[in-house]
Structure 1
Amino acid sequence: MATTSARALSLLSMLSSGSTVAGEEIARRLGVSQRTVRRDVETLRELGYAIEPVKGAGGGYRLGPGGSLPPLVLDEEQVVAIAVALQTTSAVLRGIEETSRRALQTVRQVMPRRLRLDADAFTVTALPNQWEFPAPAPEADLVRAVGTAVRQRVLLRLDYDGTDDDSTDDAGPTSRVLEPHHLVVWAARWYLVAYEATHQHWDVLRLDRITHPELTGVPFVERDLPEGGPGALVQRTPARGDRLAPWPCTGSAVLALPAELVAQFAPGGAVVRGLDEDRCELSMGAWSWIGLAGLFITFGSPMTDVQPSELRAAFTRAGEHLSGSATSGRTQ
């Protein structure tokens, strides 16, 4: 069983998030009785920590206002999370590499030796995948500006380039004023979930296509999000600003499936364009034509308007391979 001081540090670590932790959960994680938990709570209160009891359903303990923590209270799992997170930020965010390196160095210096060894065991180098994630990671200043508007709940004025790379429309970025509700990171891409009051609809914008973000200072009223929350909205939105990744082999086909369904399961670097309620055009890439044909086959849908000819030929070869596999078994 851990000593009283070690248990106290572990208890502070559990409460450091500010959320309520049930007494039964604390006892289970510390391997002690709830009576011992109450005694440790009283010990921390005597040391000046404002730990409050929360009664009723979902009750327990939480660190109240005015409560302070030691410079660093971490367990092994938290050390691993911090070490990995600070070393992989460059894969999803630009302009913060040096800051992340210095932050990790600072955190490491105040860790006990045992935890420092755990952190050092997770030394990694993060490289963005140029095929799956063709768009560059957004600048930290851009994320900071948009994130501030989300946090302050004020209207955001911005310029947005929503045209496709192969589009003949040279209109360029358009100026928009939106209600910024959430930032979502999915498949190493950053998205802004916003509400456009003028047209009264929810929108999903690729953060790397936003320029000149400006906080207006005008507040907006909180709205109920669509079913599933912001993450689900991003996943099922075909027109979310994605661009086709520069794979060696790229092609497209019209699928007899709704665009919202295909958008959820299309691989990274794919583009989905809705045609009507029951059909969409899917563009994808792969290392080889036969591999690309296999990706399309996984959707299990009839396909038309398959482009280019190399992809059509790959479907023929794939059919021959599959037919041969189906007839190669022997009956006993």
Structure 2
Amino acid sequence: MTSDMTARMLRLLSLLQTRREWSGADLAERLSVTVRTVRRDIDRLRDLGYPVDSARGHAGGYRLAPGTDLPPLLLDDDEAVAVTIALRTAAGGLTGIEETALRALAKLEQVLPRRLRGQVTALQSTASGIAWETRGPRADPALMATLAVACRDHEIVAFDYTTRRGTTTGRRAEPCHLVASGDLWYLLAHDTTKDDWRLFRLDRITGVTPTGRRVPPRPVPGDDPTAFVAARLSTAPTRYRAIATVQAPAEQIRARTPGLGTRLRPLDDHTCRLDASDDHLPHIARTLTGLDADYTLDADPDVLTHLRDTAQRTLHALNG
């Protein structure tokens, strides 16, 4: 009897979420119960915190109203697949909501039935969009979801990591936080082998394997993961150095060129400094081109040579 009532209430909640308003008679017909039973079930939903409004009279009915807290939502199979695909897309590329989408994706994929996981994988592997602008490597949303769960559960993971010099080694770490900086995602974790905090670029991580071993939460130095990552990135070595002093306010450059993160710092109200250093020369050229402002450049000889060659090819194309 209890299981029948629970199933009926879940069905009732699903109906309320699909239409703005239902009459008591319509709900009773859909659920194969009396109108009186519908009223009792509505009261039970209210006791559980669902804000169900009702209006009396011939034209009266029931509707799920906005509340102070978001109640649990029920999704059918098609809706669950669509939401998962959307969250994976958002986690991989939409500015400003990546981390929020990632948390929601981790919750949803944890409870997604096996039959739907196959649909999600098949749909995402066979459908693609046109990326008109790519500033840097993108992290795999499935990898991000796996690491997000490991961070939440404080579970040690093993993975292979490729350094900027191209060497790949096995790592074992306690994941702590996922942090976005510019166009890149980083895993902040405590390396169990080196017994020290490390930053791992997600696009260089492969073969993640949860070990099943959970550990107590480890406090991040300074108690601020984002600040800790920013400090590490500001001192991290890169292959090519390129520092631009830009003749424009930092806010103006940030608005024109999103994704600069902590690499852009104001010098005064009219100038700012951009650390465009990178391991790849084309990335440096792309970053500087996007500034759309005058600047002076302090850079390695290889950077200057690459920029001169690029400019000469452009001039040759224009004159040809």
Indicate the structure with greater helix content. Answer: 2
TM-score normalised by length of structure 2: 0.44
